Amino acid sequence: MTGPPFFHMPARRLDGARVAAAIRAELMPMVAAFQARRGRAPALDIVLAGDDTASQVYVRNKERAGSETGLTVTVHRLPADTSRDDLLRLIERLNGSPDCDGILVQSPLPAAMGKAAAQVVFDAIDPRKDVDGFHPHNVGLLAQGRPALTPCTPSGVMELLDREGLAIAGRHAVVIGRSEIVGRPMAALLLQRDATVTICHSKTQHLARMAATADILVAAIGRPGFVTPEFVKPGATVVDVGINRLDTRDAVISFFGADSPRVAEFDRKGSTLIGDVHPGVETVAGALTPVPGGVGPLTIAMLLKNTLRAAEGLTPHS
Ligand code: NAP
C-alpha cells in the first residue's frame, strides 16, 4: 500500500496514579460520613497466609491506603503451614462479625493448602463482604449485567476510561487474557457498557491481527512486553494490566534501550517493572497506561471503594 507516511504523536499517558488519588479523595468524606452515622469506620479484614514476598508488599500497600482513607484495616497474618480448615474457620468468624464489612484473602495461598484451596476459600466468603468480587454469586450477577461487588482491577480500568473521557459504547474492545481476576470480568464490564467485546487467550489464532482491530485493547497476560506495535491499531487506547519484573540488565536494555532511565533504575535497584505492552507501542497508540503508575494504583482504590459499598450494603452498582 502506498500513501503518505503515518506520523504519530506519542500516546497520551493515562495517569492511573492521579485518578486513583482522586477516587481516594472522593471516598474520604463518604467514609467520614459513615463513621459519623454508624459510630465506627468501614472495616476491611485482609487475610495473608504464608510469606510470599510480593503478597506482603501488596498487603502493606492495601493496609496503608485503607488507613489513610479512614477505613479500619485488620491484617490477619497466618503461618504458611496453616491448614485450610483453620483458614475457613477464620473466614466463618469474619462472615459472622458485625465489625467486619469486607474480607480479602490475598492470593496466592500457600501451596501446602492444595490446588483447589483458593476456590474453596473464595466460595466461603459471604458475598456481601466479598470485596474482591470473586464469589460465584457476584460473578453471576456481573454475568447477568447486574454488577454488585466487582473485581477491583477491571473496575479500576473502567473508572480510568470514564474519567479520561474515553468512549466505550459501540467501540470494539479486545481483551487478551481470560483469568477470573482480570480478563473475564474485564470483558463483562466492557460488554455491560455496550462495547463490542472479543476475548483472546493462549489458543487464539492470528492474535496480533485480532488485537489490531481493537479501539480499546486490554492486555492482561503476564508476559513482559508481549504486545508489540503490530498488535495495535494506530490511535487505539491500550490498557496494560501486566506487572512483570525484569531482573537482568540485558532484558532492560532490550526493551527500553541503553539510554533509558530504566537502565539507571535497574542499576540502583536490581530490577525494574514492565507491563505486557512493549514500550514501542507508545508510538502507535492514541492513549496508553504506564507501568508502573497505571492500573496498579487503581486496583487498590477500587478495593477501598468496594469496602465502603459493602459497608453501606449497596448492591448492585448504581
Ligand atoms: P493469569 O491468570 O496467568 O492469566 C493470563 C491470561 O493470559 C490467560 O488467560 C492466558 O490464556 C493468557 N495468555 C498467556 N499467554 C498467552 C499468549 N501467549 N497469548 C495469548 N494469551 C496468553 O494472569 P492474571 O492474573 O490475569 O494476570 C495477568 C497480568 O496482570 C499479570 O502480569 C499480573 O501480574 C497482572 N495483574 C495486575 C494487576 C494490577 O493491579 N495491575 C492485578 C492483577 C493482575 P489461557 O487462559 O489460554 O491460559
pLDDT over 50 (residue 287) = yes
Which of 62, 106, 201 has most ligand 1 atoms within 8 Å of its beta carbon, as the pocket-test mutant? 201
Model confidence band, residue 115 (pLDDT cutoffs 50, 70, 90):
confident
Banded model confidence at residue 1, pLDDT cuts 50, 70, 90: very low
If residue 174 lies in a helix (H) or strand (E), which one and from where to where? strand 172-176
299 lines ligand 1 (CB under 6 A): yes
- Of all protein residues, whose CA lies closest to atom 39 belonging to ligand 1? 296
Question: In Å, how far from its chain's centre is CA 227?
Answer: 18
**Does the pLDDT of residue 315 top 90, yes or no?**
no
Residue 111 cell numbers, joined: 501451596
pLDDT at 7 over 90: no
Q: How many Cβ atoms from other residues are within 10 Å of residue 290's Cβ?
A: 20
251 C-beta closer than 6 A to ligand 1: no
pLDDT of residue 101: 98
62 catalytic? Reply is yes
Catalytic residue among 132, 215, 240, 276: 132
Whether residue 6 is predicted with pLDDT greater than 80 in this model: the reply is no
**Strand 12-13 with 196-200, pairing:** unpaired
Q: Is residue 244 within 6 Å of ligand 1 at its C-beta?
A: yes
> Which residues on adjacent β-strands are paired with residue 141?
none
Residue 27 has pLDDT above 60, yes or no: yes
Residue with cell 501451596: 111
With a CB cutoff of 8 Å and minimum separation 6, the contacts of 146 are 316
Tell me which residue has its CA closest to atom 42 in ligand 1: 153
Distance 51 CA to ligand 1 centre (A): 23
**What atom of ligand 1 comes closest to residue 300's alpha carbon?**
40
Substitution site in 227, 241, 274 for ligand 1 pocket (most atoms within 8 Å of beta carbon):
241
Cα angle vertex 93, ends 90, 95, to 5°?
110
Convert the pLDDT of each residue in 259-281 to its tens digit. 999 999 999 999 999 999 999 99
pLDDT range class, residue 318, cuts 50, 70, 90: very low
Cβ neighbors of 261 (< 8 A, separation 6 or more) are: none
Ligand 1 pocket check for 17: Cβ under 6 Å: no
**What's the rounded mean pLDDT across residues 169-175?**
98
* Band of residue 4 on the pLDDT scale cut at 50, 70, 90: low
pLDDT at 258 over 90: yes
Q: Is 150 in the pocket of ligand 1 (CB under 6 A)?
A: no
Question: What are 235-254's pLDDT values in tens digits?
Answer: 999 999 999 999 999 999 99
Helix axes 261-269, 249-256, angle to 10 degrees: 160
Q: Is 106 known to be catalytic?
A: yes
Q: Is the predicted pLDDT of residue 228 greater than 50, yes or no?
A: yes
> Is residue 218 lining ligand 1, measured as CB closer than 6 Å?
no
Cell numbers standing for residue 107:
492470593
Q: CA angle at residue 141 from 140 to 147, to 5 degrees? A: 135
Whether the pTM exceeds 0.75: the reply is yes
Does residue 132 have an active-site annotation?
Answer: yes
